Structure 1
Amino acid sequence: MATPAIDSSVLTRRGVLAAAAASLLLAGCGQPGERPDDGSSASSAPGDQDLVVGASLELTGRGAALGVPQQRALEITAEALNRAGIPVGNRRRSVRLVIQDNRSNPTVAARQAAELTRAGARALIGGTLAETSVALAEAAQKIKTPFISVGLGDGVVLPIAERTFSFQVTPDAVDVARRLADLVRAKRVRQVALLAADGLHGDSGVRAVRTALQAADVELVRTVRLPATGRSFAGAARRIAAAEPGGVIVWGTAPDSGVAARELRRADYDGQLFFDAGAISEDTLSEANAAAVEGAYAVHPAGLGASALSATSTTDLERRDFNYRYTQRYGTSDTFAPYASDALQLVAESVRLATSLDRGRLRAFLQMQVAEGIAGGYAFTETRHGGMEPDSLATYVVAQGSWQLYG
């Protein structure tokens, strides 16, 4: 992950925090070797111990379309970090991943959090589904192990008083909804319907979209929730089409997003489609979905649109290198994968700054991280653990079967 850099021409929240980060890091966390005061019982690791990072991911089940790319991203990023090692005090540590399949089951995910910590994990990453992320966050709080969620849903790191060990690298629903509402208004669509996934991610979307559309003076004519994955979406699509909206916002995650688009077209809806960030996956652009999603819009972190030919900053070069290695290994890039890469980089940087593998110190330095990652920019604070910055978001359109930066 690139060293934070401030563009003097743009004053952003991230830039202000970055300017203050160094002094806060020195003043707020004590000197190297000091015991944490947050109740963590973890001590500094022996000199020959790796940085063990545990991952509980949806490698099977309903979240596999997003979970598998996260596993791949973690492995690629760990290899890159291990080329030189992570400086921790006067030693260099290697990253050792311990990855488990939570089978898209929150109960399994919660159990794995404890298992991974007992196996030596200094930090946890995972939960592409909101439900598994919440389960991991609750477990991480009990066992005092830092956890970074790669899932979508606003309840993962809130309330902050009960989630002091949890962080999130995906964008907030409120920020995505505002960008979608602005786009809908710019496209002169006056009436829209919302087709939202079941579960916590869909709940976040319903709340955020209603508020954002009202502020944008766009009428929400109907809200329909998708049934649980594995059941037919046809009925929900017909109810949306019957309202005859000028646009439909599909708020869900792959593979549901693409299936919902297909069912809307089969229900004779021929208007504009708008996706939230959960749809940005190669699965959504699969051959089965291609005709249905062509011309659809989505809001997603701006890193998706970076051109390898124009890469000039350190972050751009890191993004290009990651995409190259991912494509070389798996034949295609995956636009959802960079979240896990950023999560692991944030852990590694926090360990470097903490000069320790102590879990309590790692948590303290995570909540002061201000950095530019592959997916977007992050600015964690003591009172804000959902770190994806709003100015990291951009709008994309599906053109000739690929995501293209719009406008």
Structure 2
Amino acid sequence: MTPFRSTTTTALVSTLLATTLAGCQFGGQEQDTSPIVIAADLELSGAAAGVGKAYRQALELKRQQLNASGALNGRTIELLVKDNRSDASESLRNIADFSNDSRVTAIIMGGCNECAVGAARTVDEKQIPTVALAAASAVTSPVSERRYMFKLAPNAADNAAALTVELRRRNIDTVGLLRSDNAYGVEGSTALAREFAKVGIQVLAEASVRGTDTELDRQATTLTAAGPDALVIWTPPEQAMLATSAVKRIGFDGALFLDASAAGDLFLGSAARAAERATLVFTQTMVIDDVIATTPAKAARRQWFQDYTARFGGYHGSASFAADAVQLIADAELRAGGPAGQVDRDALRDVLETSQMDGLSGPIRMTPDNHSGLMPQALTTLVARNGRWRLQG
């Protein structure tokens, strides 16, 4: 072959290759490298700031991990975060602002039940997919009026069922109940009454606590005076730890049982002595360092626990819900597809509604009839031992 013919052949091959690549790039669908913009409405100040801080840390860590992983097909996640000050009115303003921002793909809301329930109508009217980390069933029910609302948090009915199993196993017949003075607290009381009726457990006394209360001696006295075998505490983490200290201070020596909403820091700090041997229903991720990683999902949870602890110096139980919310939205966005650089919220909603994954929190399944994704199997029983939560057994 002459030098001229060799050069010509090489040039032709190069031209054909360039044309083929150009056809893939321009004749087909152009690769989308636009950012996935997720907005977050969180309780960064006010009564629920402790949990809100954990959510923000988890969102940022998960964002960084996904962006560095290469799993987003050339795209990256951006976060827009606003503080709702633990106030439903402020939260609603944030949701309206996020909804009107054409860059925003979806919204993640924090653990404030009143905020999520109060925003549900606006979320549907604005047609913006929203994943709330609040527990109340009214966040996503009825689904016909919550088409764009989803949630990732343990459900009251599942918590009540798990607590009842443990109470029955311990042969406890009578309890006192301390619950939040809000819709989720009422829901918990109802769910517990339903489960208790099946096994003959009696509630001897019930008291409520507001999210801003810091003195719980009155409620503790009312509950312990009734003489129950155990106390069930159905409150956010701050009140739960205050309650354990209050009842122990006045001499109550019965058992303590906490619902999942009471899960906070892994290490119990100043409440360690009062909470010793208390029982908590929550996800296994909270104590994944006690678990042998026998599956890829468990290995991922252990790695998440280690990464979060290394970054922030401790672990907060609710962190995994926030991370799973980011993963759900990112996965749904990639599956929804659509024109490059354009946000298709309706397509994203449709994908979210049938999402399934073994998340950091446990198995998650969304269906058109159920927008509350955390499965009952995600819950297990933890016990406070030597200043921290441990896996029971």
TM, length-normalised to structure 1: 0.84
Q: Which residue of 1 aligns with 2:149?
A: 166
Q: Which residue of 2 aligns with 1:246?
A: 229
Match status 1:70 vs 2:55: yes
Q: Which residue of 1 aligns with 2:16?
A: none
Q: How does 1:4-403 map to 2 (within 5 A)?
A: 47-87=32-72, 92-119=74-101, 120-230=103-213, 232-282=215-265, 285-307=267-289, 310-356=292-338, 357-403=343-389
Q: 1:227 to 1:334 in 2, by over 3 A?
A: closer
Taking only the aligned residue pairs, the percentage that are identical comes to 28
Instruction: Report the Cα offset of residue 312 of structure 1.
Output: 3.9
The number of equivalent residue pairs is 360
Deviations 1:96-136 (A, max 9, x none): 00011110001111111121233321100012121112123
Quote the Cα distance in structure 1 between the aligned partners of 2:164 and 2:312: 35
Instruction: Report the Cα offset of residue 198 of structure 1.
Output: 0.9
Quote the Cα distance in structure 1 between the aligned partners of 2:175 and 2:290: 36
Deviations 1:146-198 (A, max 9, x none): 01011122211111111110111111100110110110111111111111111
The aligned amino acid for 2:39 is: G
Deviations 1:330-374 (A, max 9, x none): 111222111000011011111121124411010000010111101
Quote the Cα distance in structure 2 between the aligned partners of 1:225 and 1:193: 11
Quote the Cα distance in structure 2 between the aligned partners of 1:45 and 1:329: 37
Aligned partners of 2:285 and 2:305 also within 8 Å: no
| DSSP 3-state at the match of 2:381 | strand
Instruction: Report the Cα offset of residue 309 of structure 1.
Output: 7.2
Quote the Cα distance in structure 1 between the aligned partners of 2:67 and 2:290: 24
Aligned partners of 1:86 and 1:352 also within 8 Å: no
Instruction: Report the Cα offset of residue 231 of structure 1.
Output: 5.1
What 5-or-longer segments of structure 2 have no aligned partner? Answer: 1-28
Quote the Cα distance in structure 2 between the aligned partners of 1:271 and 1:361: 52
What 5-or-longer segments of structure 1 have no aligned partner? Answer: 1-43
| DSSP 3-state at the match of 2:232 | strand
Aligned partners of 1:45 and 1:358 also within 8 Å: no
Aligned partners of 2:211 and 2:236 also within 8 Å: no
Deviations 1:259-308 (A, max 9, x none): 1111111232111000000111118x443211111110010122323237
Aligned partners of 1:227 and 1:233 also within 8 Å: no
| DSSP 3-state at the match of 1:307 | helix
Q: Which residue of 2 aligns with 1:33?
A: none
TM, length-normalised to structure 2: 0.87
Task: Indicate the larger mover: 309-318 or 125-134.
Answer: 309-318
Quote the Cα distance in structure 2 between the aligned partners of 1:375 and 1:385: 16
| DSSP 3-state at the match of 2:286 | helix
Quote the Cα distance in structure 2 between the aligned partners of 1:274 and 1:108: 33
The aligned amino acid for 1:349 is: D
Aligned partners of 1:296 and 1:397 also within 8 Å: yes
| DSSP 3-state at the match of 2:78 | strand
Instruction: Report the Cα offset of residue 47 of structure 1.
Output: 4.2
Aligned partners of 2:237 and 2:261 also within 8 Å: yes
| DSSP 3-state at the match of 2:207 | strand
Instruction: Report the Cα offset of residue 49 of structure 1.
Output: 2.5
RMSD value over aligned CA atoms? 1.9
Larger RCO (CA within 8 A; separation ≥ 6): 1
